[in-house]
Amino acid sequence: MSLALLLPAGLVALVALLLPLLLHLARRHEQTPTDFAALRWLRQKPKPRHQIRFDEWPLLLLRLLLLALLALWLARPVLSGMDDARPWVVAVPGVDAAMARGQTGDQKASLRWLSPGFPSLDEPVPGGTPAIASLLRQLDAELPPDTPLTVVVPATLQGADAERPMLSRAVTWMVVDGAMPASPAPPSAPPSLVLRHEAGDVTGLRYLRAAARAWQPDPDRPSPLQIGMREDALPANTRPLIWLVPGPVPTPVVQWVASGGTVLLANDSTFDGFAPDTTPWRDADGTAVVESAIRGKGRVLRFTRPLRPDAMPALVEADFAQRLRALFDAPVEAPRRVRATDYAPVTGGETYPVAPRDLQPWLALLIALLLLVERWMATRRTRSAAP
């Protein structure tokens, strides 16, 4: 156990100790001489020297102590070597709390949930899906190196990283019955599409309009599909474009795609240099419905068949709206479920020094208490007057 100062320059405030000394000297009452007639014939004697004397020395010592503690508080003292070596038992939410308590025979063990802040096991089960690997690494860095750590987990984990966590200590990994609470995926907003078609050509338009309306069933909200003619201005490249105009795609649209836009072409639209490299949509027979290729910073999609039910039966299938939306939705995050037995931490991680204990909060409390005592001593009625 050792005491250290993070800001030793704060001890310069110790010069303030002179202030109470000067105040106690200055507040002494001056003596008023009184002349006696009979004394004037006496031979004048030399005046005695004044001796320095401090009155009310308990109050003076208390004030000096207050200033010394304040200077020490400014120096930011920390204490190291007082590490809590009690074993820790942490339970992943989804494990029965009583079962987790039974996994240790040490009555002094610290029982916690593996959740942000590591709340006590006596508190209700935390909600949400914790980042298991991140919390384990945080706990490994904050606990003293010699503290035993036991982790109680259910058979299946959620919120796992791509690899097993690597810690600096060996962990007792106990798999019990239970299931982690699943976090429902937040609903995503439907894609906002812009459609351009040739005047008088409405082939397939009603199927696309119905699919977009299925994404937004609320009639009070605007449709996520904006329909216009080929001459209308192009949207921002953050909004996908459906181009249902036959023939070569105009140069402005090609440049719009190269700058980062996404376009879905009709089967009779020709895009210069289009060479499909993926097939994001196939029908039940495995035949391509939509082909895809990267162009510059953007992406080109193209229907392989006309938008008529006789040529493309997918138009009238129940999942047409979902399949169409999947072409423009952001990639879905891969599931992060793993068997607990396959996710046990491994050793070999970096060892972190244990942070020393900050004494400033305790010093602040002591200073506040001593200040109350000083005010009581300085203002009490029975306080004796200084000579």
Segments in the chain below pLDDT 50: 29-30, 386-387
Detail the DSSP E strand segments found in 56-165.
77-80, 88-91, 110-113, 149-154, 156-157
pTM, full prediction: 0.46
Q: Going by DSSP bridges, is the β-strand pair 269-270/247-248 parallel, antiparallel, or unpaired?
A: parallel
Cα–chain-centroid distance for residue 223? 36
What pLDDT digit, counting tens, does each position of 132-162 carry?
A: 899 999 988 888 888 889 999 998 888 777 7
- In angstroms, the CA 175 to CA 152 distance is 6
Q: Is 62 helix (H, G, I), strand (E, B) or coil?
A: helix
In 3D space, the residue among 203, 217, 215 whose CA is nearest the CA of residue 240 turns out to be: 215
One-letter amino acid at 6 equals: L
**Six token digits for residue 189:** 């907003």
- Phi and psi at 44, nearest 5°, equal -70, 130
DSSP 50: P
**Six token digits for residue 291:** 């082909």
**Quick check: 302 and 270 in contact, CB under 8 A?**
no
What pLDDT digit, counting tens, does each position of 110-136 carry?
A: 899 999 999 998 898 888 778 889 999
The owner of tokens 């039966």 is 313
Cα–chain-centroid distance for residue 15? 43
Query: What is the sign of the dihedral through the CA atoms of 114, 116, 122 and 127?
Result: negative
**Quick check: 215 and 187 in contact, CB under 8 A?**
no
Contacts of 383 (CB under 8 A, 6+ apart): 56, 377
Contacts of 237 (CB under 8 A, 6+ apart): 256, 257, 259, 260, 261, 262, 298
Domains of the chain, residue spans: 1-26+55-81+356-381, 88-184+338-347, 193-317
Cβ-based neighbour number of residue 244 at 10 Å: 24
What pLDDT digit, counting tens, does each position of 73-113 carry?
A: 888 888 765 556 788 999 998 888 888 888 776 778 889 99
